[in-house]
Amino acid sequence: MLQKGRNVKATLSLNSQVYRDFQSFCDERAYMLSKKVELVIRDILENKLKTSLSNKKYAKSPQQKVTLCIDSEVYAKFQKYCSENAIMLSKKIELIMINIMEKEVEK
């Protein structure tokens, strides 16, 4: 299991509509946006979760720079994971956000 470290500010360029929808989603449920993303990243790193979603709904939205506060150890390991697996970190974060919203709607 990953240890808790200090937080790092990660600035990413995300699809603006995905970010706005996810921000509203988190606000409606009183979730801390950065923490929700960090928890899913931890699950991915610990091989508990696979994300393989399409973001066709958001394909034409412009990009937006977003800063998230994420545990530094989690972020560093996720950067390495994305690099080793030829994954664009910001796109993976978008898919994580979409995945969280879709799973909550299914409940």
Tell which residue, 95, 102, 1, has the closest CA to residue 50: 95
Local confidence pLDDT in tens for the 107 residues of the chain: 445 668 888 888 988 888 999 999 999 988 888 888 888 888 888 876 665 555 566 767 788 898 989 999 999 999 999 999 888 989 889 888 888 888 876 65
Angle at 44 between CA 102 and CA 11, to 5 degrees: 80
Specify the pLDDT at position 3. Answer: 52
Specify the pLDDT at position 1. Answer: 43
Specify the pLDDT at position 106. Answer: 65
Tell which residue, 54, 47, 32, 33, has the closest CA to residue 78: 47
Tokens of 53: 């979603």
Specify the pLDDT at position 78. Answer: 92
Specify the pLDDT at position 83. Answer: 92
What is the pTM (predicted TM-score) of this model?
Answer: 0.74
Query: Do the Cβ atoms of 25 and 101 come closer than 8 Å?
Result: yes
Specify the pLDDT at position 48. Answer: 62
